[in-house]
Every structure is written in structure tokens, then in C-alpha cells.
Amino acid sequence: MKYPLILGFGIVAIDVIVWRFRLPAHEFSRLLLRLALFSVLSWVLFWSGLSPFTQAPDLNAVEQHWLGQVLEIIWWLMAARLLTLSLDTLLLPSAWRRQRLFSDVFGAVVFLAAVVAALGFVLELPVRGLVATSGALAIVLGLAIQSTLSDVFAGIVLNTTEPYSVGDWVMIDDVEGKVVEMNWRATHLLTGQGNTLIVPNAVAAKAKISNNSRPANVHGLSLVLEIEPEARPKTVLDALGQALTGCNAILAAPAPSARMKRTTLNSVQYEVVGFVDDMNKKLNASNELFDLCYRHLAASGVALRALGMPAPTPTAHDAREALLKRVSLFESLTGDEITRLAARLSRHEYQANQQILASEAVPDSLSIVHSGVLAVTYAESSGSREIARIGPDETFGETGLLAGLPMHVSIATLTPCLLYQVSKDDMTSFLKEHPQVAKQMCQLLAYRQDAISKLMTAIPVAKDTDHSVFQWLFEKVRQLHSLRDDS
């Protein structure tokens, strides 16, 4: 019996090495190898007369007897482990395997059964009395850890019903986060602040659960805006509808919507609802949509003020001056310069689906959007592609007006639009009166990559000098508008 024991423990050692170093790397191949090792161990035991269902022989050789007993107990434990792995690898769905709850509970039950079998068959202990004693002990432990047991059984319910799985964005009651782990006790959420929040399974099973990841590729976002009650509802709804139209991140289907939600003593609440195709876009889309709502409401004359405060006294002001003050391109101008430039603006109204600028044209005026939404389209070999949308307080045609460069895009209205334009001649006379403004505007064009990207104009860059883009652009402006070189 000496050599079968050595062979048996050698097989156990090989199994430990396979388990510890994960050899081979493929999980299914590793399971097949361990099953083969277990089959060889079983053959060695039965061939040598060591049956896991009876005590080990050789009672006169104490050392060999106890080594045989240990090997038989190891056989039971290996059988329990391989049964658990086989169920986990071959039968359980991938979602259940990631959550681990069912595997852990089933493994605990199988190992408990293997221990009881080893005590009864190998050591020949009175299992009936042990089971009766363990039953009484289980009642005592159950009363002591009943809250933990409720988490375990609630976790089983959550795993079988699958209201969410690992990787889903969910809201459990008022807590929102991404599910990063599900175990026998709790669900782990990664919140938007980067913190891990642990929700006990018993709490999650009783809570109201909103799964933002289902259905896939459609995730809703909602903004609630409180508007002064003096504003006409149609004006507000039209402005919010244009904001939804101007937000590129919002899906066209399902269709976004805006509605009046409820009224209070100090305001009227309006809700804006849209959808995105990726949960990671939800935050940026919400911020962009809120900014667009603000701008379109301001363009429609809807004032945003602190709730509970009296409405400000209307004051007469020039709409063109107010518009110029909101445009980032003219943020460096003084009040007097704004007034002089506003006098040169001309008002233009356009209907929906009307082309404003053709591709490859050189704009001879600077257009400032007061209200409405315009689409910027780029012509490719495969067809036209919309690359951006323009809304209130934004401009286009800067490089054509300032430097005489063509635009490689076409611009058309999506909704009725109101534009203010300043012509090349008016801008030339204005820049001659204020030559420092030309430099400031060129600095904005040179250093603001978002403005340059909207122009879609390739600007050559000289690598031998600093600020070469600005210098090249400013030289073009000086030549085109016959400005003095005051730099």
C-alpha cells in the first residue's frame, strides 16, 4: 500500500500546482485536466483497496492507516470542488458567474455535504447524532445571523430574477451608480462621485429599482427648469424645443420632448426629456442641453431669476448690443465699441431648411445667431455629413470676413432663425477705427481651437516661430482690411 499512497499524494500535489498557478491558462482546459487527475486518483484508490466509502485498511500499520484516511478525505473534498467548478463553468450563465452568489452558496452546500460524507464513511462517526446536533446549532446560529441570512436569500432572489447585473447603471431608491460587484451579502455601486456604495441585498430586494442600462443603447435624461410665471408657455416651449433640436448628443428616436410639468407660487416648472445612446454621454449631454436651454430662453426674452424674488423692472435696451455682449468673440470690446459695432448690424430672418452658406464659399459678412438652430454640413466622397449645430450667441464666417479664407462647410437652418450680420465693408471701417480689436479677435481665432474647428479651414503653421498661427492670421487681416501695422 506504500506506493499507491505515494502515487495518490503525488496526484494531489499536481492538482494543487494546476490550481495555484492556473495551468493551463484556458479555464475549460484547466477543468478538464483537473477532472482527469481526479479520475486517475479515483482509479489508484479503488485499485489499491482504498475506498472513500469505507475506512482505510492496514489497521496494524498506524501511519499508513492515517495517511489512507487523509487521502480518502481529500478525495471527498476534491470531488466537492470539481463538482462546483463543473457547474460553474459548464452550466451557469455568464451573468451568474460574474455575480458569484449562486456559485458561493452552492459550493458551501456541496462542501458541507462532502464533510459530512467524509465523517460518516471514512471516519465512521455517528452522523445521525452529528446531524441532529448540527441542526440545533443551525437554529441558534440562524437566530443570531438572521439579518445576514436575509441578505443571502435576497441575493438569491436578485440573481434569479436579474433586475440588474454587473456593469449596469441602476438607481436603487434615490442612489444611482454602476454595479461593480454582486456577492452573497450586498451589491456594490460605483457612484458618480467615484465612491463605492454598498447596498445590502435585503434592502435592494425591497427597494424601487430603476435600471438605466435597459433597454440597451437608449438612456433617458431629464432636466426640470423653473421659469418665471410671467413668461408665456408657448414661448418657453418653443425655446426648449429649439434647444433639443440644437443638441447633437440627443437621439432623434425616441423623440425628445418638452412639457409644462407643474406650477408653484413663484414659478412654472418645465421638463425637458431626451435620450442618448451611451450612458457615459449622459453627463455631458445634460450639461450641453442645460446651456442650450439657457441660451434659447434668453434669446426668446425669458429672464431667469432667483425664485421668490420680484421680477426686475423692464429697462429699455438695444437688442443688438445685448446680443454682442453675449458673444464670446467680442468679449474684449468696451461698452462704447459694442455700441458702435451694434449700429452696423443688419437684421435677417430665415425660414427653416434654408441654405445660408454654400460649401467652399468665402463669406463676406459675419453672422451672429440671435435665435434658432442651424446645421453645419461637411461634404465627403460618401456624401454629406452633419458635423455640428449652431445656436444663439454663436457666430460663423469669421475667417472669411477677417482673412478672406473659404469655408469648407455648408450651413443651413433647421428652424426659423433670426441672424444679425455685419458686412466686410462695415467691419473694415470698424477695424480701422479700432485696430487693436483686430489683434484681439485674431488671438481668439488663433488660440480657441473650438472656433477654428468650426471654421473647418486649414491654417498653415510655421514651426520656426512662436504663435505662428496668430501672426499668419493677423497678417491676412491687415492686408485684407488695409490696417496699419501698429504692432
List, in order of start, the domains of the chain with CATH numbers. Answer: 2-144 (no CATH), 163-211 (2.30.30.60), 219-299 (3.30.70.100), 319-481 (2.60.120.10)
Position 137 scores a pLDDT of 61
How far is it, in rounded angstroms, from Cα 53 to Cα 45? 11
pLDDT band at 190 (very low <50, low <70, confident <90, very high): very high
Residue 79 has pLDDT above 80, yes or no: yes
pTM to 2 decimal places: 0.61
112-134 average pLDDT score = 76
In this predicted structure, which of 4-18, 344-358, 427-441 has the lowest mean pLDDT? 427-441
371 pairs with which residues across the strands? 418
Residue 470 has pLDDT above 50, yes or no: yes
221 pairs with which residues across the strands? 274
Length of the chain: 487
On whether the CB atoms of residues 445 and 452 are closer than 8 A, the answer is yes
Count of CB atoms within 10 A of residue 254's CB? 11
How far is it, in rounded angstroms, from Cα 166 to Cα 169? 9
Taking Cα atoms as reference points, which of 373, 396, 408 lies closest to residue 248?
Answer: 373
On whether the CB atoms of residues 119 and 76 are closer than 8 A, the answer is no
Q: Count Cα atoms within 13 angstroms, Cβ side, for 403.
A: 23
Residue 316 has pLDDT above 50, yes or no: no
pLDDT band at 451 (very low <50, low <70, confident <90, very high): very low
Residue 91 has pLDDT above 80, yes or no: no
Position 104 scores a pLDDT of 74
pLDDT digits (tens, 9 = 90+) for 408-421: 789 999 999 999 99
User: Residue 80: exposed, middle, or buried by beta-carbon count in 10 A (0-12, 13-18, 19+)?
Assistant: buried
DSSP, res 280: G
Helix (H, G, I), strand (E, B) or coil at 248: coil
Helix (H, G, I), strand (E, B) or coil at 197: strand
Going from the C-alpha of 77 to that of each of 91, 164, 202, the distances in angstroms are: 21, 34, 32
Position 419 scores a pLDDT of 95
257 pairs with which residues across the strands? 273
Give the burial string for 217-247 (b: 16+ CB within 10 Å, else e): eebebebebebbeebeeeebbbbbbbbbbbb
Residue 74 has pLDDT above 80, yes or no: yes
In this predicted structure, which of 109-113, 211-215, 246-250, 309-313 has the lowest mean pLDDT? 309-313
- Residue 56 C-alpha cell reads as 482505510
pLDDT band at 448 (very low <50, low <70, confident <90, very high): very low
Residue 346 has pLDDT above 90, yes or no: yes
Position 67 scores a pLDDT of 87
How far is it, in rounded angstroms, from Cα 467 to Cα 93? 59
- Residue 238 C-alpha cell reads as 418653443
Percent of the chain with pLDDT over 70: 80
pLDDT band at 462 (very low <50, low <70, confident <90, very high): very low
How far is it, in rounded angstroms, from Cα 120 to Cα 65? 17
